[in-house]
Structure 1
Amino acid sequence: MSTINDPYPTYRELLENHPVSWHDQMKCWVVVRYADCREVLRNHEVYARDWRRVGDEIPEFKQSVQSQDPPDQGVLRSFLMNRIKEQDLADICRRGCSRVARRLDALRGTGPFGLRRSVRSPRRRGRSLSSGHRRSAGSRTRSSPTPRRWRLN
């Protein structure tokens, strides 16, 4: 939980001492340096993410843009990018701003509250503002791992 509340000490430790390391629980390599990440993502000839390349059979319904290598990834990536471009981003922004404003209005005068829990993903819904899915979000580095409390007068 401490890493979720303040990921920067863990990230700093990885960056300085373990820029490429094996993660036993996730059963994968963790790469944290920008240049290394860029190389891994761009060089699909050397770094494979598609388990079919080592002989595993993956049903079509389990294949995704994150699990395929080029050129197979191209069709799915093109489909995904076209759907993203079709989105009305201005409307998504308006709806998100409206939701935040309503949540902040409801919190006005209630005393201190945490932005992440009370505004971004309230417990009663357990969803983020934008997508309806629960996600972890980074925050600015603080001297204390304690979440900052906010108050609206």
Structure 2
Amino acid sequence: MTVGGPSTDRGASTVLSYVLTVAVTSILVGLLIIAGSSFVDNQQRLAVEQELTVIGNQIAGDLEQADRLVRASRSDAPTVMINESFQGHVSGIPYSITLESTDPPQIVLQTANPDVSVAINATVRTDISESAIAGGPVSVYFDPSLGSNGRLVITDA
């Protein structure tokens, strides 16, 4: 037996519960999408950085090999050229390669979006010529006409 008659709030309670459930679910789904896109961006950035590091290490190895060949040569103007074939994009993103004559010389690879830059040291005794090229096939060669004793150079292959 009810005092005061039957309750009229029962129907409103179900609708209110449904609206609150939909609102909370929408907020949670939105937060998951935001967190997921941040995770994907971080993974892409990491993949680009790793690919640039691999390419940079290969170019550094080519510079070091060319340096050894130049120093081992008995000629005043040795002919040394090493070609490498790399893709023009890493993870679908174009990149650039810069050879800097710092101490030690560095190969700097970078992309614009995402903004990733990787610097790899090269251990060489032969002078180098600063240069910048777009990513892709690379040629490392010795140019005896540069400087007093010649220089190592990188160009597009």
Whether TM exceeds 0.5 here: the answer is: no
Q: Give the structure-1-normalised TM-score.
A: 0.23
**Greater share of strand:** 2
- Say which one has the larger Rg: 2
